[in-house]
Structure formats: structure tokens, C-alpha cells
Amino acid sequence: MVFKGGISLKEAFILGATKSAKTDGLDEARGSLEPGKRADLLVTDEETNLFMTMVGGKIMHETDVIAELSY
């Protein structure tokens, strides 16, 4: 969608999270970062280099860049 659809990377990530959760009937618990919802997220840069993955609020992967910033 970013390359052929003309939307920004940020828009693509938001659309992917919110639309998937809503389509699967999970939007009450997932799909956005809000109090009470499960914290599943990716932290990337503009080139989609992955810096951190969080599943259910637990850090599953983090690079040295994130580790240095968060502690």
C-alpha cells in the first residue's frame, strides 16, 4: 500500500492494526494503544528497521538502541 497505494508508512501501520482487529472482532481489546487494551506493538524507523517488539505488554525483542534509551 505504501509503494503502490500512495499512503504513508505511518498510515499503513495504523490501518493494518485497526482494520485487522476490527475485522477479527478484537477491537475491544486490540488494534490501538488505549488503557485496558493489550499492548502489542512494533517500534521501527522510517526505513522499517525493527527496534522493538512488544506482545501483551512484554518486550519480546529489543535492539541496543532501545535498551540504551529506556533504562
Alpha-carbon distance values, 35 to 15, 28, 29, 32, 39 (Å)? 20, 11, 10, 10, 9
H-helix or E-strand containing 20? Answer: helix 9-23
Give 14-64 pLDDT, tens digit per residue. 888 888 888 888 888 888 888 988 888 888 887 888 899 999 889 999 888
Give 6-16 pLDDT, tens digit per residue. 898 888 888 88
Signed CA dihedral, 48, 52, 55, 61: sign only = positive
Q: What is the pTM of this model?
A: 0.64
